[in-house]
A and B are shown apart, each in its own frame.
Chain A
Amino acid sequence: MVVSIELSDADVDRLFHALADATRRDIVRRSVDGDLSVSRLAEDYPMSFAAVQKHVAVLERVGLVTKVRRGRELLVRSEPETLRRARLALDQLAEVWEGRVQRMAALLDDDSTPEHQTRTKREG
């Protein structure tokens, strides 16, 4: 079940914090199929089960992974929607700069042909 949520600033900060750790990013990657339990995930890291469990808990709090019960096991599954939102923020910034670079190029072309020089129109 993917729940669409609006992220508050505090949520986004926690999201960034969650993603800032290499082990947690690896857990998110390995949990895409949602068929690994915490114990199974923990086998691949040089740290205690409890430490891995803590990492999973951090990811769970920000919605990057969810736990799904199957029989006696709790399986971890990553939630790509949250990751997508983080990427979207950078995409938007990229768009801002694409616009700026386009305007810079137009301005440079403009100024090298003075007879066509115009100023950006402003509303008074």
Chain B
Amino acid sequence: MELTVDKDLDAHTLTVVATFDHPVEKVWELYADPRKLERWWGPPTHPATMLEHDFVPGGSVHYVMTAPDGEQFHGRWDVLEVEPRHRFSVVDAFADVDGVAVPEMPLTRMEFSFEPTATGTRMVTVSRYDSLEALQQVLDMGVEEGLRGAMSQMDAVLEEG
């Protein structure tokens, strides 16, 4: 697995390029299969559960992340485009318990693309924020959701495997 992250302050965009030693079909399943998606979207301390997963253009995904104290944080994807095993794009939003986007909260447009390589798969993820304010707000929420510090929790996940 290789990983490069490009941070563009001016374009308020984060681009993640990752290569995996597994075929595109397997990497695609990590998104297309809700049981797999929920195993990595949230960090181990705040696991995600996919309550609704209509992974087609015009569909929506409703997930909840649960904190160690039981507090729950809901999120929603509006699925814009899906080309299986090739690319998809969504708008990620903070949601209420019914999976309805919370108004006036920042949105994140995310584009994902996948291509086969000689040894596996190259995945490109582009996250774009409306403004730096939006990014800051997402991160402030992320602190609550335990998204930060995810790296330090990796050891536990790897040990599970």
B3 and A12 within 8 A (CB) = no
Q: When chains A and B are docked, how far (Å) is the Cα of A35 from the Cα of B27?
A: 53
* One of B52-60, B83-91, B126-134 at the interface: B126-134
Cβ contacts B39-59/A at 8 Å (1 or 0 each): 111011001000000000000
B3 and A101 within 8 A (CB) = yes
A95 and B132 within 8 A (CB) = no
Main secondary structure of the interface of A (DSSP, over half): helix
Main secondary structure of the interface of B (DSSP, over half): mixed
A92 and B132 within 8 A (CB) = no
Is there a chain B Cβ closer than 8 Å to A93's Cβ?
Answer: yes
Number of interface residues of B (CB under 8 A): 49
Given contacts A9-B137, A94-B5, A103-B154, contact A108 B142 (CB under 8 A): no
Is there a chain B Cβ closer than 8 Å to A72's Cβ?
Answer: no
Is there a chain B Cβ closer than 8 Å to A16's Cβ?
Answer: yes
B154 and A86 within 8 A (CB) = no
Q: When chains A and B are docked, how far (Å) is the Cα of A11 from the Cα of B149?
A: 26
Is there a chain A Cβ closer than 8 Å to B72's Cβ?
Answer: no
B136 and A97 within 8 A (CB) = no
Q: Whole-angstrom distance from the CB of A17 to the nearest CB of chain B?
A: 8
B47 and A89 within 8 A (CB) = no
A19 and B10 within 8 A (CB) = yes
Is there a chain A Cβ closer than 8 Å to B157's Cβ?
Answer: yes
Closest A residue to B108 using CB positions:
A93
Choice from A17, A90, A101 contacting B135 with Cβ under 8 Å:
A90
B→A interface (CB under 8 Å): 1, 3, 5, 7-10, 12, 14, 16, 18, 20-22, 26-27, 30, 36, 38-41, 43-44, 47, 66, 68, 125, 127, 131-133, 135-139, 142, 147-151, 153-154, 157-158, 160-161
Sample of 19 A–B contacts (CB below 8 Å): A9-B136, A10-B133, A19-B9, A19-B132, A89-B135, A93-B127, A96-B150, A98-B5, A98-B16, A99-B43, A102-B154, A103-B150, A104-B30, A105-B20, A106-B40, A108-B21, A111-B36, A118-B161, A120-B44
